[in-house]
Amino acid sequence: MDWDSKVASNIKAVEFSGIRKFFDLASTMKDVISLGVGEPDYSAPDPVIEACIASLKRKETSYTSNWGLLELRKEIGKLFETRYGVKYNPNDEIMVTVGVSEAIGVILTAILNPGDEVLIPDPAYLAYPACVSIAHGKPVLVPTFAKDEFRLIVEELEKKVTPRTKAILIGYPNNPTGTVMNRDSLMKIASFAEKHDLIVISDEIYCDLTYEGQHTCFASFPGMHDRTFVMNGFSKSYAMTGLRVGYICGPAQIMQQVYKVHQYEILCTSVTSQYGAIAALKYCDDDVKAMFREYKIRRDIVYDGLCQMGLSVVKPQGAFYIFPDISVTGMNDEEFADRLLKEEKVGVVPGSCFGPGGKNHIRISYAASRENLVEALKRMAQFVKKYKKLNDAGHLFP
């Protein structure tokens, strides 16, 4: 069987994750400090673990409603109304998913016809364009620039919108840049979406890691509730990555169609994990705040270290990523990441994994211990110094 000829063309066109490529390589080496994967170095808070164990002891191992446990959906609805003044009916406007990853996929499957275009900031989380392509859509990358702190500018959106544009997919705080869009900047995006009658898909998984100002829920803008999907979850704020719990909030009419996709493809999220998520929302605010404070300290450590070694870098305002420009070394981002891993045993991700706008940048995750961050910065500083000197002298690399 010639399986290569049998694979769907849209799937063959999607590249494998560049993040996983470097993570898998790093995992085969000894004494590597991996700053590549965006996973908290914490375990889930004790109330979450205890709730999961208690549910298993009650032998609650059955399916839940395809929508998810009603108690969890009510807690999510309460959170949105209390924090943002946005109301969602837990019965038909909130659906529990297997992380935000599933949420992206089921939304795009539900709304896209072949060839429909989706606007995506560049650079952005590498799953966004991949999931659009898998759903038979066309990802359209909209450039953002370091001079604007990688904020999405309406003028750039206007250059890319066409009659085939159906949606805009954004994620703020941003992975990989750590960019936060303030309320005024997001309001301009909302006006653009309304002007062109676009669906907005807003990934707000890093909302609790906003270091400067306050997070703005996109659906809170006038007129946006009825055209916006808000996605969020428990992986980052609550260190529940492996428990795989996310959710979608959206207008009832379209949520019925998203639910249909989820119903047939997934059925439901793990009941054990859902009980853990309920406990997270009820009892773990202090844990979230403690992790937030620690990430902010780590951000400053890494930002200062990168500046001291002479790299151009925008100070991130959210998430737990930083995106320095490594052009001074004379290497492109792929070469830099490969050599840094092999020579200094520090794992980072090439910026081009996140789109053409990431060229000559690397993504560093500072969801690692202070001790590891300090050691990684020490190794990276001597690496940068060596290659910057060689580049300045016009010498070939060894």
Q: Is 386 exposed, middle or buried (0-12, 13-18, 19+ CB in 10 A)?
A: middle
In sequence order, the 6+-apart residues with CB closer than 8 A to the CB of 155 are none
> pLDDT tens, 210-225?
999 999 999 999 999 9
Burial class (CB in 10 A: 0-12, 13-18, 19+), 54: middle
pLDDT of 37: 83
Please tell us whether the domain made up of 3-43+286-392 is placed in CATH 3.90.1150.10.
yes
Q: Residue 397 has what DSSP assignment? A: P
Phi, psi of 294 (to 5 degrees): -70, -40
Nearest to 128, CA basis, from 116, 141, 115, 114: 141
**Chain-centre distance for alpha carbon 104:** 11
202-259 pLDDT per residue, tens: 999 999 999 999 999 999 999 999 999 999 999 999 999 999 999 999 999 999 999 9
Domain 46-283 has CATH 3.40.50.720: no
Predicted local confidence at residue 389, as pLDDT: 81
394 pLDDT more than 90 = no
Question: Looking at residue 390, what is its pLDDT?
Answer: 78
Inter-residue contact 323 to 360 (CB < 8 Å): no
Helix/strand/coil for 166 = strand
Predicted confidence (pLDDT) per residue in 127-140, tens digit: 999 999 999 999 99
pTM for this predicted structure: 0.94
| Domain ranges within the chain, ordered by starting residue | 3-43+286-392, 46-283
pLDDT band at 43 (very low <50, low <70, confident <90, very high): very high
